[in-house]
Structure 1
């Protein structure tokens, strides 16, 4: 796999003719820092972590002008663990983050096919979470965005053009189960409106949990509303999610972080977030948020998180960051403080690191 990735990079870097014809861009993020986890049953953990603020990655994207305002587009993106120099992948995927091809038009919208983000995840990341899913304060710690809630395989996604501030997206992920078109399929959508300092969006996700052998697993539903408003001196964020059904709130953490008895994800819960970000000087930004997880099942395993962070831009491409977050688990809940890439091992975590984009 490593040899294949190196070969792709060398080919892309040396083929200037292909670049000229297809307008291909090589890009990436290198993010590394110290992460200190506290409060887990196995003790304190301090490690050099890759991707605390933004997952480290390398990607290839490109467009080809087809005429008449229509373009062919593609994207191939793989995660990297720069603390160890390895690929960050699951199930031996080469491009585990995104891999798609499609067509795009300024007037008709964009249609893409492949492995892609869900509208639910993009809405929370881009509109509702002041930490943008990064550092210890990430909304990933309590909101249901783990596993298939982040990206879908076999996804067909359509995104509208901007229509007087309104944009929309629809995603359909084929289950590909022989003889049963509905099993394991996933459907999502989002509608957003942006006008000056106001940005508001709603998103929905539906996951059919049936498999080729189990036909009564049921469906998980998630509905999200998120908004932010920029007052210039401070930007205010808010998000609220309703989660119901099996796998409506997949855990972002290990099920036994605090006890030998596995912590089971809720099938009936709500998530609420309020947050702020504010510029400090010419290059700094302070970010803070509070998240409440309301479990409505019989054991009432609620949790809450507060977090604060600071980012300083050394240049347009390089920044440093520091963040701290703490989760209060109730009645045997087992949520952990993670970051953009790692799920964490305890109920408290501290991050300090540096990020470079190219």
Structure 2
């Protein structure tokens, strides 16, 4: 009888332990799949010839990511106890036009591929990630950094993907303290005989009280290095940004100043601003304007302006329409769209894009 009782007790204990540990494992870790599928139709009144730089005429084309970069990825979190969490993210950029690589550095997980530790002391992140400078650009763009008619076009025209997708990087982001948050990033470069080649670093300091946000960011990167990617991410440049936003309920005003100083090339200042307004939970309108001037030659300058609207058919699916105009003087070649019209010729060009976006 005693022998049977011990067997019953052992089975009961084993079952309880298994239940507890199974519940603990479920509570401590999770993995989520997510993505964006975005496709649009683009029209521009002029098209810059990539070989001659002259006007090739009007264009009407199907483009990927008319508003937001198409992407898919996975992210996960594990609770390590004591307020400490391990996190990871793998994110791919793809094209709805042909199924190939989309807005990324050209690699399979060319948008993000990192692992981090997070606690109440902040987050330490290692791997391919967005730089603090680029994230500040996103926060201060009144059009949500749309791939059409926003500061993202000026960024891509200036330095392609450098500073967006930072390879071989280590970063630290502080917790929020009295409304302030700071971030620093250091990306290792180096090549045989030149330790500093491709090395870059970035920093950001933001204050946000829910109504007023002030953001200042910095980026400095050397050309070259061993982190070569299919889409250039090794342009040597120094970037600075200062901006602010103010929110009245569903209406937000944003303004910013950004400078791009390219090694051995141009030095541009960009002054921008605009509004973002949620008319209803299902309807958003926004508009922005950016003036770019070459500090080395003021005859080179441009004005880019765009407005857009997005209507949500559901929480996941929306339709959008955008219209923009750019006026280039001198050698300035500011474009209208990251895809299909990154650069435009001198004079005035008009463009529009309509499309559909789905989140999952």
**Same fold by TM-score, threshold 0.5 exceeded?**
yes
Aligned length: 317
2:125 matched residue in structure 1: 112
- Which of 115, 121, 124 is the equivalent residue of 2:134? 121
Matching of residues 275-314 of structure 1 within 5 Å = 275-298=274-297, 300-314=299-313
Structure 2 residue 247 is the aligned partner of structure 1 residue 230: yes
Q: Which has the larger radius of gyration?
A: 2
* Structure 1 segments (4+ residues) deviating >6 Å: 18-21
Q: CA deviation at 1:116?
A: 0.7
Show the 5 A alignment for 1:13-32. Answer: 22-32=29-39
Residues 115/342 of structure 1: CA separation in 2 closer, same or farther (3 Å cut): farther
Structure 1 unmatched ranges of 5 or more = 1-17, 213-217, 248-265
Within 5 A, what are the aligned runs for 1:96-175? 96-105=110-119, 107-126=120-139, 128-143=140-155, 144=158, 146-175=160-189
Per-residue deviation, residues 238-273 of structure 1 (Å, max 9, x unmatched): 0101233417xxxxxxxxxxxxxxxxxx52221000
Structure 2: stretches of 5+ with no match in the other structure:
1-24, 48-54, 227-234
Change (3 A) 1:241 1:76: same
1:37 aligned to 2:75? no
1:336 and 1:348 in contact (8 A); partners too: no
Partners of 2:276 and 2:298 in 1: CA distance:
35
Q: Deviations over 1:312-358 (max 9, x none)?
A: 1222222111101111100132221114x554464332111111111
- Retained in 2: the 8 A contact 1:37–1:345? no
Whole-angstrom CA distance in 2 between matches of 1:73 and 1:349: 41
Change (3 A) 1:21 1:232: closer
Q: Which moved more, 1:52-61 or 1:41-50?
A: 41-50
RMSD over equivalenced CA pairs, Å = 2.5
Which of the pair has the greater relative contact order for Cα pairs under 8 Å at 6+ separation? Answer: 1
Does structure 2 retain, via aligned residues, the 8 Å contact 1:292–1:304? yes
Contact 2:104 2:111 in 1 (8 A): no
2:326 paired residue number: 327
Question: Would the aligned equivalents of 1:59 and 1:78 in 2 still touch at CA under 8 Å?
Answer: yes
TM-score where L is the length of structure 2: 0.81
**1:87/1:19 Cα in 2 relative to 1: closer, same or farther (>3 Å)?**
farther
Instruction: Tell me the residue number matched to 2:261.
Output: 244
Cα distance, 1:191 vs. partner? 0.3
Residue 38 of structure 1: how far off its partner (Å): 2.3
User: Is the 8 Å Cα contact of residues 243 and 257 (structure 2) preserved in structure 1?
Assistant: yes
Q: CA deviation at 1:186?
A: 0.5
* Contact 1:37/1:344, CA 8 A, preserved across alignment: no
1:13: which partner in 2? none
Q: Is the 8 A contact 2:150 2:288 kept in 1?
A: no
CA deviation digits over 1:180-200, x for unaligned, max 9?
332210010000010021111
The CA deviation at 1:20 is: 7.5
Q: CA deviation at 1:211?
A: 5.7
